[in-house]
Structure 1
Amino acid sequence: MNDNATPPSDAGSAVSLDHGHVEGTGERLPAHFENPGLPPHQPRWSDVDEGAAKRAERQVLTFFLISILGTLLFVFSYFAFSIDQLIFLPWFGHISILHLGLGMGMALSLLGIGIGAVHWAKTLMPDTETVEERHPLRSSDEARRGLVDTLVEGNKTSQLGRRPMIGILGGTAIGLFAVPPVLQAVGGLSPEGMPGGELHHTFWQRGMRLMRDPEMTPIKATDVTLGSAFHILPEHIDASLEQLEQLGYVTAQERQSGDFQHDQHLGYLERKAKACVLLMRLQPEDLKVEKSREWGYYGIVAYNKICTHAGCPVGLYEQQTHHLLCPCHQSTFDVTQDCKVIFGPAKRPLPQLKITVDDEGYLIADQGFAEPVGPSFWGIHR
């Protein structure tokens, strides 16, 4: 810093380079910048033509009404349809009517409110430009009274008094828009609702062989050595509903009920996402929980590999410690304690698949999962 630098001078006088000048320019700082002013105000058609204002009002009301109808469509779809009711759409294939209704309802609700509010502001609300000089944080009493007067005047010029239906439908649209999030928070995460309810069911059925993933070959108990781990899927996971009935896994009554989870249109990836299993073999005496020993086969145990925290695949098996690790948030499950959570944000153990062997020595499911798989939700938290 140059101690001999001259302080800033008054308007029009030269200042030192240490006060913001570019070296060699010789520029001088003005006392203040001239106000460039505002361009002349251009009135809108709705400002000068009452017919145009009426059309703009009807358009705003239409958008708010669309928003209300969208919210009602969301609520109706939530209660009227289930996830396994499908509709075929060109280019998209089979889509759940529930998901289609929820998505379309939410989209219309958001678009109606957004476009209606913007159109209202652009065509009917005052658009005159104003300039307010900066002032101390604590306004004078006169300025405060002026603010109140401005708000009152703004309420008048917003034309809510002359066009009350805008306020009525706009307020209704915004109020109803709060319903979908409440439904999702209260009902959508309940054990019997969506999406928690479908986590109770997977593709596994009694008698299905355990198949290596991705080879899809059956595995015998003798193939599972100490310390080994296999990624497993259920047999016939790519079969249709009719094929499952022919194989004896589905009854005609279940197939016709419409509630059976193995819908013939259910995608392979969706089935796989919930039914994937990790198979390991430990010394039987290392299993500290009686249930895990009874549900296993001579130290061979099978657990769902979807983390109960956020649904990431638990695929890291530590042979020496018998720990399963989720790579996303480091939730750690102890296989010797029935996959109890010993570290991380997960709140409940991984569900165990009860297994046995068939007459040929192949590992098979003795039953499906007895508890929901995947992330925890309301009512299922431990």
Structure 2
Amino acid sequence: MSHEISDDNLPEAHGASHGHEVASHDDPFADPGLPAHEPRRTDIDERAAQRAERQVSLLFIVSMLATAGFIASYVIFPIDKIVTIWPLGEVSALNFSLGMTLGVALFCIGAGAVHWARTLMSDHELPAERHPIEADDEVRNDVIEQFRTGAAESGFGRRKMLRNTLIGSMALVPLSGVVLLRDLGPLPGKSLEHTGWSKASKTDPIPLVNMNTNKPMKAEDIVVGSLTFAKPEGLEEDAHDFQVQIAKDALMLVRIQPEDLKDAKSAELGFEGILAYSKICTHVGCPISLYEQQTHHALCPCHQSTFDLADGARVIFGPAGHPLPQLKITVDDEGFLVATGDFDEPVGPSYWERSR
């Protein structure tokens, strides 16, 4: 026997109790509402809830142990130790241990939080109608009440083991960032206050060597308007510490007509208008390589700090903090340019430990 089916005989769709319009043939895009809530096992079985609590706490404890392992790796493994790990091959023991321990620490915190939310926190879905951006007092009070309800249902205050292990893991993870400061290298101390020129004296001067020809220079080799780069004699490019030393010892030479010099002290440090300045910019340490002979201005290409070499390398533009250090030079008995002491100021950028 056949029966005629009408819309009145259709069963009530899920969500109708929430006040949403039921989908029909006439309006297939109507809001179907929320499905009926189905309790989880942890909602009805306290033993299952306690088991989930222990699992979450274990994840947080593993995170704490991994963070401790991250810090211990800095003590255990030297920077240059290489190990073979299948299938990666040869890798840095330090980098591998740091990556693994930090990854486990962060993963366990995330996995623990997700497991906690999915098994122990309330999972009731609550619809919220759209409202203007500026909420009224009723909405704000409702949000505050929902927050309090959510905090209570999360078990954060009641489940002490979860709370304490979460706080412990979150407190330890930032310590891994503290030990990373070691990779910044040793503190500069007074290393920038003395260069390779510090070994020079009036009785035992150091010859200036041309960076391009690797030969000593005579005063007549430096012509007005030119810019010449120099280094101390004995500093060879194949030396293991060449890059470290040249970063402090690099020198640039200019020759300016004596009547154009504006700073008497700077003129005394030079020889017949030949001035020797540090090539290292006093802003962030870039090498200066641009010179304008008409104005006697030297320009750093990195951030456009500009120095007046005719006026003691005074800063006339840009972010540099102080003038370029100058080297005391003269000539020896054969007419070669030599240095008789170190720079008059520490080379390189400003830093708070500067004593001069």
Aligned residue in 1 for 2:171? 172
After superposition, what is the alpha-carbon deviation per residue over 1:102-137, rounded to whole angstroms, capped at 9, x for unaligned?
999997997577445423332223584665332123
Counterpart code for 2:148? V
CA distance in 1, matches of 2:349, 2:133: 50
Are the structure 2 counterparts of residues 31 and 229 from structure 1 closer, same or farther at C-alpha, using a change threshold of 3 Å?
A: farther
Asked if 1:219 is matched to 2:217, the reply is yes
Indicate conservation of the 8 Å contact 2:63/2:169, yes or no: no
Aligned residue in 2 for 1:144? 140
Asked if 1:119 is matched to 2:111, the reply is yes
Aligned residue in 1 for 2:313? 339
1:335 offset after TM fit, Å?
0.7
Point out the structure with max Rg over C-alpha: 2
What SS class does the counterpart of residue 140 from structure 2 fall into?
helix
Counterpart code for 1:143? V
Counterpart code for 2:112? W
Indicate conservation of the 8 Å contact 1:317/1:325, yes or no: yes
Match of 1:278 among 248, 252, 256: 252
Are the structure 2 counterparts of residues 89 and 283 from structure 1 closer, same or farther at C-alpha, using a change threshold of 3 Å?
A: farther
What SS class does the counterpart of residue 117 from structure 2 fall into?
coil
Are the structure 2 counterparts of residues 46 and 119 from structure 1 closer, same or farther at C-alpha, using a change threshold of 3 Å?
A: farther
Indicate conservation of the 8 Å contact 2:226/2:255, yes or no: yes
Moved more, 123-132 or 172-181: 172-181
1:214 offset after TM fit, Å?
3.5
Aligned residue in 1 for 2:62? 62
Asked if 1:201 is matched to 2:197, the reply is no
Moved more, 147-156 or 346-355: 147-156
What SS class does the counterpart of residue 235 from structure 2 fall into?
coil
What SS class does the counterpart of residue 148 from structure 2 fall into?
helix
Counterpart code for 1:303? Y
After superposition, what is the alpha-carbon deviation per residue over 1:242-301, rounded to whole angstroms, capped at 9, x for unaligned?
xxxxxxxxxxxxxxxxxxxxxx864x2232222211111112232222221222122111
Aligned residue in 2 for 1:352? 326
TM-score, normalization: structure 1? 0.63
CA distance in 1, matches of 2:219, 2:67: 59
Counterpart code for 1:199? L
Are the structure 2 counterparts of residues 200 and 381 from structure 1 closer, same or farther at C-alpha, using a change threshold of 3 Å?
A: closer
Are the structure 2 counterparts of residues 303 and 177 from structure 1 closer, same or farther at C-alpha, using a change threshold of 3 Å?
A: same
5+ residue gaps, structure 1, are 1-29, 77-85, 92-99, 241-263
Counterpart code for 1:198? S
CA distance in 2, matches of 1:351, 1:322: 16
Counterpart code for 1:336? A
Aligned residues: 304
Q: RMSD of aligned C-alpha atoms?
A: 4.5
1:199 offset after TM fit, Å?
2.7
1:303 offset after TM fit, Å?
0.9
